[in-house]
Amino acid sequence: MGCCLSAADAGGELHTVSGTHQFTIRAYSQTKGIGSGKSILSRYFTVDGRTWYVRFYPDGYHPNSVFVAFYLQTLYKPHCRAVRAGFTFQLLKPDGTVAYSRRSDRPCSFDRRCNSWGFRVFVTREALEGPELGVLHEDSIKVRCTVDVVNSCWKNRGGGGDDRWASVAGGAMAPQSDFAANAMRFLKSGRAPFDVKFSVGGRVFEAHGLVVAAQSEWFATALYGHGGEERWAEAGLPCVAISGTSPEAFEGVLHYIYHDELPEELIKAHGEAAMTRQLFEAADMFLIERMKQMCAGRLRRFIKDDTVRGIMDLAQAHSCKELEQACRTFLGRRRP
């Protein structure tokens, strides 16, 4: 991801931070049929200290739409300061050149009322899949999203000759908070003592209770909810025993919690199909919805004649409508 900074006018200034995120929609044919209004998420990326991601709607935003849709979304709704940002979505050819591009006509306000903006009518599926654009290659599509965060402010030359940013409203404008990033960096450094242990299949894992609870309602309830903290403290146990998942899958869950991404090395080491299935089940067990959806997206790649029934059973068992629909779509196309 690239990032740049720009400013203009010495009095009332525009402070713009731009970032670009490029990703690939793989197994595109298997994304069709998940249903209108259902989206596939990109990985998270950061622009101006804020976390963003892209939503792709292969079956359209509205029912019976012939258009695919792309939306840009912030991870959390801004509670203190609205963020104004323009954005561009580009479809790339296999050689990286731009085949199709659409840009927002103005900076949009990402605030408490709305943290998602995009194009409900981006491009028709027929054009997306057709040879004229030439963006569908080996069942994959490359997409580039550019975000331009715009902050209106002026420089206030105060005592001591220092330049200080002030908000348009007249109050001091502090830089974007980096508390979350610094907190995670510190926790992963190993200097913060672990305060909880988990025993899974004979292996013991150490973690920070607040970190795992913040990412998972299952952990929040087990450690702190409904008197959980008191029971845990009274029992005086060295660790919390967990059943129903494998040590490898639990290791993957902790990796996701601390890194906000799937454990690629673990997946490669244990086989992508088998390990992704285990991670999908674990994500459902520990109520980590985004991780579950990421695993479901990967499982779509393995939908074949000899696997579709098993994957559909898995989707139904764990209430994943998108994955179940992908399997039904595959079965529908297979019929003569």
pLDDT at 250: 96
Instruction: Spell out the residues 6+ positions from residue 243 whose beta carbon is closer than 8 angstroms to its own.
Output: 200
Whether pTM exceeds 0.75: no
Q: Could you read off the pLDDT of 298-321 as tens digits, one per residue? A: 999 899 999 999 999 999 999 898
Q: Which H/E stretch holds residue 128?
A: helix 125-129
Domains of the chain: 16-150 (2.60.210.10), 192-333 (3.30.710.10)
pLDDT at 71: 95
Q: CB count, 10 Å around CB of 223?
A: 20
- Distance between CA 35 and CA 26 in Å, rounded? 18
Would you say residue 288 has pLDDT above 70?
yes
Residue carrying structure tokens 């907190």: 183
Please state at what angle helix 289-299 crosses helix 321-334, rounded to 10 degrees.
10
Contact 176, 200 (CB under 8 A): no
Q: CB count, 10 Å around CB of 270?
A: 18
Burial 98-108 (b: 16+ CB within 10 A, else e): ebbebebeebb
Q: Could you read off the pLDDT of 174-195 as tens digits, one per residue? A: 455 566 567 767 776 777 788 8
Would you say residue 167 has pLDDT above 50?
no
pLDDT at 88: 96
For 143-157, 168-182, 256-270, 283-297, which range has the lowest pLDDT when averaged over its residues? Answer: 168-182
% of the chain beyond a pLDDT of 70:
79
pLDDT at 226: 53
Q: CB count, 10 Å around CB of 319?
A: 10
What are the CA-CA distances from residue 53 to residues 21, 241, 249 (Å)? 9, 35, 25
% of the chain beyond a pLDDT of 90:
44
Contact 146, 19 (CB under 8 A): yes
pLDDT at 8: 42
Contact 54, 143 (CB under 8 A): yes
